[in-house]
Amino acid sequence: MKIVLCCSDGMSTSILVKKMQDAAAKRGENFDISAMPVSTLETNAQDADVILLGPQVRYMLKDIQKEFPNKPVEVIAPQDYGMARGDKVLDFALKLAGK
């Protein structure tokens, strides 16, 4: 499963990606989790199973959902994002993917 996190420039989500990878490893799972700037989604997220937005780009949610109508696209809860709760964000992504 491929999970893409995006924010303004991909920097703030990279910490959360590492925490999510650690949470997946503890569960014995190996997911493709990456961070990228929202400006690169069109080219780099075509094969994503789930797209998660950082709270700072939540205003783009409707546009990104229209761009990717067959993929779950949602905003990460601000408290989980701010505290880098990788396990909670991973659970959220799995729920969105129906896993």
Residues assigned a catalytic role: 7
Counting beta carbons within 10 angstroms of the beta carbon of residue 37, is it exposed (0 to 12), middle (13 to 18) or buried (19 or more)? middle
CATH code: domain 2-96 is: 3.40.50.2300
Q: Which amino acid is at 67?
A: E
pLDDT in tens, the chain (99 residues): 999 999 887 677 889 999 999 999 999 998 999 999 999 999 999 999 999 999 999 999 999 999 999 999 999 999 999 999 999 999 999 999 998
Q: How much is the pTM?
A: 0.93
